[in-house]
A and B are shown apart, each in its own frame.
Chain A
């Protein structure tokens, strides 16, 4: 079978010592930033992008991917022990996880999160391996019109499924698209919006934008809020193993979370965060059996389901990136950046032109998940200690690593000025309630969208109807419109706001 042959090729690549080492580094870093509140995978990956120049592409991607799914493991530790989401996707884990910790059952809560995540991660990886080839086949049938329609769908999907104001999110996408257009136009050679600054003719640096808005913007807004008192249940973590009763209850919840997470991860705009919310909502809807602890008071299902879902979602969100070359969320947008740094054009051709990279990355995810279980369960004590480090000592370190990351991109002070400007802009976005993630997606897709739009209209001699008359592109656009309409319906609108409000 092809799948087995492909996976064995992948494992052959992933099991080399160097790639194992980078998978481990990625997982450790991911857990680290997952445990620490106030720094997320987006900022970390942006920081490390320049540092991966020197690595072989496979190792670089393996490490960066490890950071993303590693953060899903780490985030649950903080959620359970401190009642703070270490990662945004662990917000719902706080609800029941922290209650379990308060009742002295932090061990089983951590174990169910870790084991559930491992199961979900393994399944997610398999789904990725199984579904990538057929989707790639499909992608080869895509012309420029289809690509343009797909990007519209991806961008619309990203904002429909995200929280917050829809119009503002769409405006942020457009702003991102416009920023992405700054620099030399590939068709005419005209330097657009560069204000005669030579550095700007290459376009705005991706690292600079991501780091300014996600890194500095967030640090500043964290500092402007008084530090929360952290109550850490460090002494009470004893007896990691869940009881037989726990296992019986969490197993179906893990399964449901995995299925849901895998499906939502593939959708544009999906990924870990949405999957966790949806999984918790479903567990709650299913209700409790007699004798079970109610939700919100320490039900193990309320930990197992969202934690499985966010990890499954993190794995399957690689599918649109690896098969179509279209990033479904901000982290995947950064992975596009990482691939371009190494001269790999993301898209369906990656699987045929770089099979070692493609299958090696997938196989490494399974290895990474196995490493994470070990990192997060037996070694939990190490991470708990980290939680006692105050933010006062953390943020100068984060600022430093950001600054080093920015400077090392081009060894150029111009980037340092730029990141300062974007830091101010990023903080302004926080103050104005504008979510920056859609902007980053737009920024990545801007040049690609323009290119495909131009090609499509050139082929159709300026006839815009080509987007609706070609069946594939027409149906993709129809889905995008349908999504917008559904979200704007008054009944769904209020539900959507409800769903994203913390309970």
Chain B
């Protein structure tokens, strides 16, 4: 059978898998009866419903004709990795990573690292411009978040301040 809409087919399968997983997980909690619902009752109901809807979406994806096959298209792995990566590295800079013995590097280092990593997501980035941008963002963030909103962040690396 041909897939008529790739988007619908894949999302339908996704809904079915997630729905079934939730429903299966829910059976491990006490389900109870309508009058005295256990913690598993509502998730079990929803899980089954999601699986059914997923099946309908998958079916639509197989049956309803679309122009151009409704393709998912290429995944933009480059921006995906850099943007998510920038966020993760920023978190590591702020919070440190005890498992490898890294202590907090603070907000300012985090901002520079994040700006550079995030900028790399786009093809035409330049070191100088990114550096200027990171410096501007550092000043703004320091004033807005640390001075004005008084968020409890480590600003400088623990190695310096301690």
Interface residues of chain A, those whose CB is within 8 Å of chain B, are 51, 54, 165, 167-168, 170-171, 174-175, 177-178, 181, 185, 187-188, 190, 192-193, 216, 219-221, 223-224, 392-393, 395-397, 399-400, 402-404, 406-408, 411-413, 415-417, 419-420, 423-424, 427, 431-434, 449-450, 453-454, 457-458, 460-464
Contact = CB atoms under 8 A, between A and B. Distances in A.
Contact of B137 (A221, A397, A408, A424): A397
Contacts of A170: 53
B43 A175 contact: no
B100 interface: no
Interface in B108-138: 110-111, 114-115, 118-119, 121-122, 124-125, 129-130, 133-134, 137
Contacts of A449: 42
A223 B123 CA distance: 10
B61 to A, nearest CB: 10
A457 B92 contact: no
A294 B10 CA distance: 43
A464 B57 contact: no
Nearest to A397: B137
A174 B48 CA distance: 10
B76 to A, nearest CB: 3
A306 to B, nearest CB: 28
A408 B38 CA distance: 35
B150 interface: yes
B91 A413 contact: yes
B2 to A, nearest CB: 19
Contacts of A174: 19, 46, 49-50, 53
A396 B33 contact: no
Contacts of A407: 90-91, 94-95, 153
Given A393-B133, A457-B35, A462-B33, A171 B50 contact: yes
Contact of A396 (B10, B56, B124, B137): B137
B133 A396 contact: yes
Contacts of B152: 411
A216 B91 CA distance: 15
Contacts of B160: none
A223 B150 contact: no
Given A165-B8, A407-B95, A458-B36, A399 B53 contact: no
Interface string B1-41: 00000011011001100110010011001100111111110
Contacts of B97: 413
A400 B114 contact: yes
Contacts of A403: 86-87, 90-91, 110, 114
A54 B150 contact: yes
B88 interface: yes
Contacts of A404: 141, 145, 151
Contact of A433 (B11, B46, B149): B11
16 contacts: A171-B15, A171-B53, A175-B50, A178-B46, A192-B26, A216-B83, A396-B86, A396-B119, A399-B114, A399-B118, A407-B91, A413-B91, A432-B72, A433-B7, A433-B70, A460-B35
Nearest to B23: A178
A181 B57 CA distance: 24
Contacts of B22: 178, 193
Contacts of B39: 185, 187-188, 190, 192
A453 B37 CA distance: 9
B114 A396 contact: yes
Contact of B50 (A178, A187, A221, A423): A178
Contacts of A393: 129, 133
Nearest to A225: B76
Given A177-B46, A188-B39, A171 B57 contact: yes
B143 interface: no
A201 to B, nearest CB: 13
A181 to B, nearest CB: 5
Given A392-B124, A407-B94, A419-B87, A431 B18 contact: no
A221 B11 contact: no
A395 B149 CA distance: 23
B158 interface: no
A168 B37 contact: no
Nearest to B6: A432
Contacts of B63: none
B106 interface: no
Interface string B72-97: 11011001100110111011101101
